[in-house]
Structure 1
Amino acid sequence: MEEAVRCQIKIERPMYEHDQLRKDFDYNKCKSNTCTKCLHFETNFKKILLKTIPVIDWLSHYKWRDNLLPDFIAGFTVAIMHIPQGMAYGLLGNVPPVVGIYMAFFPVLVYFFLGTSRHNSMGTFAVVCLMTGKAVLEHSDPSFLTKSAKVNATSENPAIQSVGDLYSPVEVATAVTFTVALFQLAMYVLRLGIISVLLSETLVSGFTTGAAFQVIASQIKDLLGLRIPRHKGLFVVVNTIRSVVDEISATNVAAVVISAVTIFILTVNNEALKPLIAKRAKFPIPIELIAIVVGTLVSKYCHLEEIYAIRTVGDIPSGLPVPSVPPLSLVTSVLLDGFTIAVVSYSITLSMGLIFAQRLNYEVDPNQELLAQGAGNIFGSFFSCMPFTASLSRSTIQQVVGGKTQIASVVSCFLLLFVLLWIGPFFEPLPKSVLASVIVVALKSMAMQVTHLYKFWKLSKMDALVWLATFLTVVFVSIEIGLLVGVVMSLAAIFVLSLKPHTCLLGSVPHTDLYININRYKGAVEIPGLKIFQYCGGINFATRNMFKSELLRLVNINPQKELEYRRKLTKYADEIDVKEEQSNNEKVAKLQRKINRELRCLILDFSSLSHIDPSGVSMLQVVTDSFQKIDIPIYIAACPEPIYEMIYKCGLVNHKSSIRTFPTVHDAVECALEIFTVNASAISTISRS
């Protein structure tokens, strides 16, 4: 292996202090942080229109010859995935299966006009459907779902209409969707796209893994063909498993066989066939759709419902739903559910959008995504839809098979329209155990995220605790409380870490202007008479004492005790002049050993200081005064401009202050060494004279 070539760099320039650097290079602070935004504010109506409705801009530059065929193929492929996933996740939301297909049509049309992600496949997503299903279970009368009748698009569906003060599952779902839309549009108006940063990678991993286990637990009854009560409130998973254990003797053997065969076929396809086919063909086998079609045919012609009491999907109306206003009286009852779903669905969609945008080199606007989702949910709430979001599996397929833009979503919508108008009732005999099997297999990768705990534990014990607390709370308590626990613990972790900043002493790399940690680099040389203290983090009312204690610990000098030692030394020295005593001589010798003879200047490296408040500046003033009383000056080096402005406003550094500031650590060191040399020369001259 060849040795790296090291270039000798020689820098010749004047030594600068911070104020002089500002004067020489014409420092000019912008009066307001918003002035730049004001200069670039888009007053042109056309630009505002293009920003608000992005499809006008990108569609005008669409390369029809190059992109239309790939988009059509991607749209067709994703439409095939929408059918089984939509029906399965519709049941997951405790609403009729056809609602899942509605979600892949109505809100997706709005997202096509307003969204900025080119590859997000919008529609159903397991976690969001599960969260909606919880609200549906709490606020609706589940008996509506047992009412079935052959209806068309213009007739009234018993599963959708309410009776008296009771709400149907679809009514509750649309109320939740409407509430989610209100929160997302409010966040858009307030430009709160940044709120997604509250959901860290650790939190999202623990949350989605826990939700996956909740979903799997909710499907056990259909996998086994059991009829157990629907549980709501807290500890749903625990109560569900208890009910399953109590009713295990009533397991439907035919349902178990159907579930086992379906899961086996889907798993073999995903684990063995799909990787092999991917090497030879660009399009995946639509195994979920095949399973649903075969399951429907077998159930219909073998009369599984009549002979083996297999629970089937039941009524699926053909045609499009009649638009209706969501029950606004329910909005106040589902505010908490609406807020959590709004944040979760937006964060998932934005995360996926940013992944594809970074990979394929285009931009996704976080705030515009809020508008797109909010408007899509508003529109969908009038057409019996649950809140929609992006799906990782469908989005990945849409990109892998060659999709270029949201034209693929439009193609998918029109193919699903064909299904809604004519094909929907075909799936009425489909066993619910088949849909439950599709859900369980689809969530395998999400459930396997449980192995992330080991990864987070190796990287950070704090992150591992956040993951574990979020996961356990979601699984054993509830999804909303789990999300709250995760957010609170993430913020607490940030606070705790801010209270434990990294501190160290720096030494010089010989013959360079580099200064590095003397505890970690054996080649670093500590400069005699100098201590260079580096602090990484913020100095505020909560961390000011931490800064002071770390400084005194590493420098190994307590100015107050040092001053006390010097006063005692002066006192004992005076007593020796008057009357020599052995005890006084011993006291003087002991004090002389305690008094610092080495440190002559202290340099504070603020290059990694992120923030300082007036409380922190006051603490620095006290520390500076205490060191100056024992003749140790303090220099501040590499201070960022916002930090410098704060300490200047607070009076720590100005023309009256004795503290000197330098743009780099090297400037501060050179100044200190120059003063050391001058003082040494003066002392030498005095001693000779």
Structure 2
Amino acid sequence: MYPHPPPPLPTCDYYIGIKRNEITPTRHFDNRLRICRPFLATMDELDKKMMKPLTQDFIEGCRKEYIPIGMKTKMKKSVCKTYNYATHVVSHILPVVSTIRNYKFKSFLINDIIAGLTVSFMQLPQGMGYAIVADLPIQTGLFMGFFPAVCYFIFGSSKHLSYGPIVVISLMFGSLMEIRFKSTEIILDSANHSEVSTLSTSSSETIFLSEEAYAKERLMFAAAITIISGITQLVMSICRIGALIKLLSSSIVSGFSAAIGFIVAINQLKNIIGVSIPRHSGFLSVPKTLFALCVQIPNCHYPELLLSLVSIITIYTVKSQINERFRHRLRIPVPIDLIIVIIITPISHALKLKENYNFKVVGHVPAGLSTPILPDISYANDYISDSISIGIVAFVYSISVCLIISRKEGYEVDANQELFAYGLTTMAVSCFGCYTPSGAISRSSVLVGCGAKSQVGGFVSGLSLLVMIFFAGPLLKSLPICVLSCIIIVALIKMMLEILSFPKIWRTCKSDGVAWLATFLAVLLISVDLGLLIGVVVGIISIIVRTYRVKAVPLGVLSNTNIFLDKDKYPSVTIPPGVVVVSFPSPIYYINADIFREEIDKRIKNMKGINVYPNDQMEETSQPKVIIDCSGITFIDGMGAITLKQLYMDYKTKDSSCFFSNVNEKVISVLKASKVFNTLKYAMYLTTYDAMMAAASETTDNTHL
């Protein structure tokens, strides 16, 4: 029994009338047509029936397929639709849901485990070295290998991004730490015989802190910077401005990377030669650091220098001659960084390098995780702009790595989704003694090379670091700091070699070369964040200059064709007498509108028409007819529309004509919005050849658009 009686079936003539578009169906019969599937499912069958009289048996067959939709069915469909939408939203916010749902354990798990373990072996010494660059405790580098990897596994969508510490962000944190705690000194409080420190603030008073409180102060400051940078990334994601990455050309990124490599390497030289120098920041910090190193060369600590040279040569040789040369044969690269740490640490402990030879060592590294803290933004009130810069730079580096690897591996990455993941991850790790993480190209390349299939590879590397945090930390007490500096310097060699790409960039495009050089020098001599900003500004200015300095191109038609070529490059092309064809390969907007008009007038003044049809006798006119090929004009603004109208009206008043060809839809829409289209529409043609024929025959009655 149906909950309500079915509506009467339409007649055969009704169906035939609808098929032949002779009858407009009512809503009542529309529903019947939708559910009479045997009648309407296959058009071939329907056409066959149209050729024969429709019988009542066929109509009865349609009746059997009619099942009225009851309340239960409607509720089921509504629930299914709601479930699908909720699943889509959850998968968008938490990509780990779709990762686990689609994970193929048999074919993916082994590769992900091998890749994750390899990255963890690589990240253990690098993380400690980056913590030194960031001027934070050694254990912070270990935490940076666990918390960001696990959080990104939950929120991230890239299959091969290794999210954790990188040298650029570490350097920016180290600079802020130096500025914030520049005048801090550890002194001995004679009253209670305990170490205390004095902290200079923006005010004139001096605050006395215990050593533990001083360390907590530094971590709270780092947490405040981190959460502000995470909020910046989250707001950028909400505002859908992930396309900001497009402002950074490859030349800017190359110059930025080269400068960062040199800055970090120069700052690590003090540990290599075993001297102490003041840390400089701000304008001309790199030359000041180099000068201080040169002054301290006579005081070089030769045992540390010797160990550093041996370590650098060993690490570089294995990476370049074994890992790089035999990367297609090796299932996993040789973890030479970890091997060096494992070999040198017990030797340092046995020989007592700190006591007997005055080596600087890592010292006590507490085992286990730190107590979660709640970041307080007030600790970074004076560093809001620096925190925002760190968030933007971290996003730029991460999304660059994502795009490089995703294009290589054949999957897509949404910049705004990734930005959302970065923001949530950064805000989460700020509570666990970490600083702003980012994507590392070296570790991500290792994940790809080891055959990682999903985000599980990064998750495995994080779990491996967790084990090392609990058990390996105390064992690293005797590790010389110079070894960590050697690991960092070798890892930076590829970044520093980016300087070799400058000659090629300069030869390819001078404006890109200028942007590269401006970014490199600004980062090297001023600061990291301002240097990147200067590079972006120079890149934008170079684009504007290129559109400002565009020159109009005279065109001519190739004989017996409708192909137009540059008349300066192909002198054999011709045009009818009294006609000038000019192309302007640039947008027309308020900056270059005057240049456009000047270039058109200049070309018209310099050109002379050549008759393409020798038998035709065309009278020379004092003012030639002008055809503007608009194929290179990608867009215009209001000023550009007015300029086109003025050009048209000026030639009209001179008893001449101006035609426009190959005008795209964006330009036409602006012309219509600015009320210029009605003036120019009879002078517009689909092709330049049509415009030339109209100009030659003086046929301007109808538009060809």
If the TM-score is normalised by the length of the shorter chain, which range does it land in?
Answer: 0.7 to 0.9
Distance 1:391 1:596 in 2: 68
Q: Which residue in 2 is equivalent to 1:647?
A: 671
In the superposition, relative to structure 1, how do residues 482 and 540 fare at CA in structure 2: closer, same or farther (>3 Å)? same
Distance 2:216 2:263 in 1: 25
The residue matched to 1:505 in structure 2 has which SS? Answer: strand
The residue matched to 2:517 in structure 1 has which SS? Answer: helix
Q: Which residue in 2 is equivalent to 1:138?
A: 179
Where do 5+ consecutive residues of structure 1 fail to align? 1-41, 150-157, 559-594, 679-689
Which of residues 447, 457, 480 in structure 1 aligns to 2:496? 447
Q: Does 1:623 align with 2:647?
A: yes
Q: Does 1:342 align with 2:391?
A: yes
Which of residues 686, 690, 693 in structure 2 aligns to 1:663? 686
1:315 maps to amino acid: H
**1:194-209 maps to which residues of 2 (within 5 A)?**
194-209=243-258
Which of residues 308, 321, 329 in structure 2 aligns to 1:259? 308
In the superposition, relative to structure 1, how do residues 177 and 235 fare at CA in structure 2: closer, same or farther (>3 Å)? same
1:217-273 per-position Cα deviation (integer Å, ceiling 9, x unaligned): 110110011122222333221222222222222211111011111011112112222
Distance 2:186 2:365 in 1: 12
Which of residues 361, 372, 375 in structure 1 aligns to 2:424? 375
Distance 1:191 1:109 in 2: 25
Q: Does 1:637 align with 2:661?
A: yes
Instruction: Tell me how far 1:598 sits from its aligned partner.
Output: 6.7
Distance 2:165 2:655 in 1: 70
Q: Which residue in 2 is equivalent to 1:67?
A: 108
Which of residues 164, 172, 184 in structure 2 aligns to 1:123? 164
Distance 1:292 1:435 in 2: 8
Q: Which residue in 1 is equivalent to 2:137?
A: 96
Which of residues 54, 78, 81 in structure 1 aligns to 2:95? 54
Q: Does structure 1 retain, via aligned residues, the 8 Å contact 2:178–2:279? A: yes
In the superposition, relative to structure 1, how do residues 117 and 323 fare at CA in structure 2: closer, same or farther (>3 Å)? same
Q: Does structure 1 retain, via aligned residues, the 8 Å contact 2:523–2:529? A: yes
1:405 maps to amino acid: S
Instruction: Tell me how far 1:215 sits from its aligned partner.
Output: 0.1
1:252-305 per-position Cα deviation (integer Å, ceiling 9, x unaligned): 111101111101111211222224442432211100111111121111111000
In the superposition, relative to structure 1, how do residues 135 and 511 fare at CA in structure 2: closer, same or farther (>3 Å)? same
Distance 1:142 1:417 in 2: 35
2:148 maps to amino acid: P
The residue matched to 1:458 in structure 2 has which SS? Answer: helix
Distance 2:506 2:352 in 1: 52
Which of residues 367, 389, 411 in structure 2 aligns to 1:362? 411
Instruction: Tell me how far 1:145 sits from its aligned partner.
Output: 9.4
Distance 2:146 2:555 in 1: 62
Q: Does 1:332 align with 2:355?
A: no
Q: Which residue in 1 is equivalent to 2:239?
A: 190
Which of residues 155, 162, 177 in structure 1 aligns to 2:213? 162
Which of residues 619, 623, 626 in structure 2 aligns to 1:602? 626
Q: Does structure 1 retain, via aligned residues, the 8 Å contact 2:623–2:654? A: no
Instruction: Tell me how far 1:201 sits from its aligned partner.
Output: 1.1
2:123 maps to amino acid: H
In the superposition, relative to structure 1, how do residues 637 and 321 fare at CA in structure 2: closer, same or farther (>3 Å)? same
Distance 2:444 2:641 in 1: 51
Instruction: Tell me how far 1:480 sits from its aligned partner.
Output: 2.2
Q: Which residue in 1 is equivalent to 2:287?
A: 238
Q: Which residue in 1 is equivalent to 2:458?
A: 409
Q: Does structure 2 retain, via aligned residues, the 8 Å contact 1:145–1:169? A: no
The residue matched to 2:587 in structure 1 has which SS? Answer: strand
Q: Is the deviation greater in 454-463 or in 658-667?
A: 658-667
In the superposition, relative to structure 1, how do residues 666 and 324 fare at CA in structure 2: closer, same or farther (>3 Å)? same
**1:157-556 maps to which residues of 2 (within 5 A)?**
161-163=212-214, 168-556=217-605
Q: Is the deviation greater in 212-221 or in 524-533?
A: 524-533
Instruction: Tell me how far 1:664 sits from its aligned partner.
Output: 2.0
Q: Does structure 2 retain, via aligned residues, the 8 Å contact 1:140–1:168? A: no
Q: Does structure 1 retain, via aligned residues, the 8 Å contact 2:523–2:532? A: yes
Q: Does structure 1 retain, via aligned residues, the 8 Å contact 2:634–2:666? A: no
Distance 1:324 1:665 in 2: 69
Query: If the length of structure 2 is used for normalisation, what is the TM-score?
Result: 0.80
In the superposition, relative to structure 1, how do residues 677 and 621 fare at CA in structure 2: closer, same or farther (>3 Å)? closer
Q: Does structure 1 retain, via aligned residues, the 8 Å contact 2:99–2:454? A: no
2:562 maps to amino acid: D
Instruction: Tell me how far 1:600 sits from its aligned partner.
Output: 4.4
The residue matched to 1:385 in structure 2 has which SS? Answer: coil
Q: Does structure 2 retain, via aligned residues, the 8 Å contact 1:292–1:430? A: yes
Instruction: Tell me how far 1:677 sits from its aligned partner.
Output: 12
Q: Does structure 2 retain, via aligned residues, the 8 Å contact 1:529–1:600? A: yes
Where do 5+ consecutive residues of structure 2 fail to align? 1-82, 189-193, 195-208, 608-618
Instruction: Tell me how far 1:72 sits from its aligned partner.
Output: 0.9
Instruction: Tell me how far 1:670 sits from its aligned partner.
Output: 3.1
The residue matched to 1:603 in structure 2 has which SS? Answer: strand
Q: Does structure 1 retain, via aligned residues, the 8 Å contact 2:221–2:380? A: no
Q: How many residues align?
A: 589
Q: Is the deviation greater in 46-55 or in 392-401?
A: 46-55
- Higher RCO (CA-CA < 8 Å; seq separation 6+): 1
Q: Does 1:672 align with 2:695?
A: yes
Distance 2:417 2:211 in 1: 32
2:146 maps to amino acid: F
Query: If the length of structure 1 is used for normalisation, what is the TM-score?
Result: 0.81
1:8-35 per-position Cα deviation (integer Å, ceiling 9, x unaligned): xxxxxxxxxxxxxxxxxxxxxxxxxxxx
